[in-house]
A and B are shown apart, each in its own frame.
Chain A
Amino acid sequence: MNTIHEIVLNWGIFERMLAFVLLAPLVGGLLAGIDRKVSARFQGRYGPPVLQPFYDAFKLFQKEKIIVNKFQDFNIVLFLLFTIFSGALFFAGADLLLTIFSLALAGTFFVLGGFCVGSPYSHLGAEREIIQQVAYEPMIILVAIGMYQVTGSFKVSVIAQYELPLILYLPGVFAGFLYILTIKFRKSPFDLSMSHHAHQEIVRGLTTEFSGSTLALIEIAHWYENVLLLGMVYLFFGFNPWLAVFVALATYLFEIFIDMNYARFKWQLTFGSSWLFTAVAGVSNIIVLSLMR
């Protein structure tokens, strides 16, 4: 592990980007598979094979392309491209804020895709997706702010190699980040806009009108995004790579646990509680930090 860490440290920007682009879908897909297996076990079921997400994606690529309008898929392609791009930026050690803005851009394309098709379910899913975006956006920016306050830099490469444990300075920010991570992972109780579980009140929400390979692209973008988000969890524990990877994985399991234990919230509660929790945990942490200096 330590040698792996050494090797990664010696990579240049483009090598890291390339590594992310190639490895992230594998890791993300595997995590998704573990998610389904673990979820099934929580429910006393046997569950699908761990590689099931890959099977699903392969199958989706083999399906016929059906569309509602010509341009709907374009938005999804852009969503995927910019998600990959933000992840690559992050793992190349670039500016954390820039990564966040770029990820927001990707999210916007996803929402526009949902609006573009002009279907009621998709439309409602898109509206809810924006509400989710608005709910988590402040906290994500606060993560960057908090890390900047401690390390004095927005560079991911600097933050990741900061010697002191960030988590000790940013416990509130980390708690807030965990909270909105549930939204980002699209887990219950916050999976309003589209859910991985079967029937939902708005069918498949945002993705209702996307099928076949486009749906697979959405899944893959989601894998990339998950890896990126776990990378952000890593930053909090960057002082010890072993611990950091362990915590990142533990966080993922924790989110699965939450997912299994909650029913879906209404958007009012999702939105209100996210902003409130951001204010209580994140903002107070940031203010304490600024007073300490």
Chain B
Amino acid sequence: MTKPTESGQTLSDEQIVEMYWKREERAIQETDNKYGKLLFRIAYNILHDYCDCEECQNDTYLGVWNTVPPNRPVVFPAFITQIMRRIAINRYKEKNSKKRIPSELTVCMDELNDILQSNEKVEEEYETKEIGKIISAYVRKLSINQRYIFIERYYFAESVECISERLGISESTVYRYLDKIKYDLKLYLERNGIYL
């Protein structure tokens, strides 16, 4: 996943963040070396278009450049993947209003429709951030495999085929896990007063 630097070493996240902090342009190159493939993969799973992915990747690096400083991310990979995910989802929304994009995100969202029931704009009542925190608490309760499957599928929008291959289990097993996770998540959200 990572390419070594010119000196043959991969920089640590702290070193990369430090370079951003000092406004060293090499920080972008180092980020690309270390996380370029991962970021591209996230974008591709969402957008399914190479040109868009490259643009999103560049926007992500620019976003990090503009955000650090003043912010100093504690967990750098989570920080950049969140930025990339946001940018890609925004691009997805923009494009999807014109035509349906055949990406994994489209499939993921169709899957999640099972637990969304009403047409009300619930985010008016509950902040998305709040729901995110409740989902975090739910994710912590999952088993290692369930957690892996949930995050891969709904955070990274990874294909079921790819997940099953990585875990060495069949696709139908992954689907079974996903059904159970979705069902339990719905119950968990309801128990916390969130009726989707």
A binds B: no
